[in-house]
Amino acid sequence: MPSEQEVIFEILEPLEVGAVLSYQEIEQATGKPISHCRPAVLRAGRQLLKQRNRLLRCEAKLGYRIARPEECTAVATRRHRAANRQLVQAREAVQYVDMTGLSPEQRAIAMGMFRTLAGMCAAIKHLGEKAKEHDQAVLELRDDQSDMETRIQRLEKLFGQK
């Protein structure tokens, strides 16, 4: 007998981009209320993303929709920002803890966690700055390419080519 995840994945797999799998369809396929199926839907969604390159989005009061490709970057951006916020909050939780209330072992663990989290925050900040530099360089190259194409067109008109 297939698992809930397998049943849901079999329904999701042939769906086209933009199609919605309703909560009712999930309940009918699994024989369980939607509230009990969420973990299986999320696992099937991850499987769909990895095997079929399709992202599953929740549609309030409807079901789950296969996202358009351009939506995927927006989802990734939101999740990236949320992950960064959580990382900073985790760092702050150990950074500002009252160390006097901790045993020596707990203090050592907290300090180790702080160093690790602070390093991760610093690395992410550095990579973000590098990404901005890269994006700026790409924009400048595009501007340069556009300028060159304009110059080439003028030269071709001047010398009667094309």
Task: Give 98-110 pLDDT, tens digit per residue.
Answer: 999 999 999 999 9
pLDDT score recorded for residue 23: 97
pLDDT tens for each residue of 142-152:
888 988 999 99
Which residue ranges in the chain fall short of pLDDT 50? Answer: none
- Position 162 scores a pLDDT of 55
DSSP lists the bridge partners of residue 66 as 56
| pLDDT for the residue 135 | 86
Cα separation, 74 vs 65, whole angstroms: 15
Q: What pLDDT, on the 0 to 100 scale, is given for residue 1?
A: 85
Residue 26: CB atoms within 10 A of its CB come to: 24
What pTM value is reported for the model? 0.64
The residue written with tokens 């530099």 in the block is: 133
User: Does residue 18 contact residue 65 with C-beta atoms inside 8 Å?
Assistant: yes
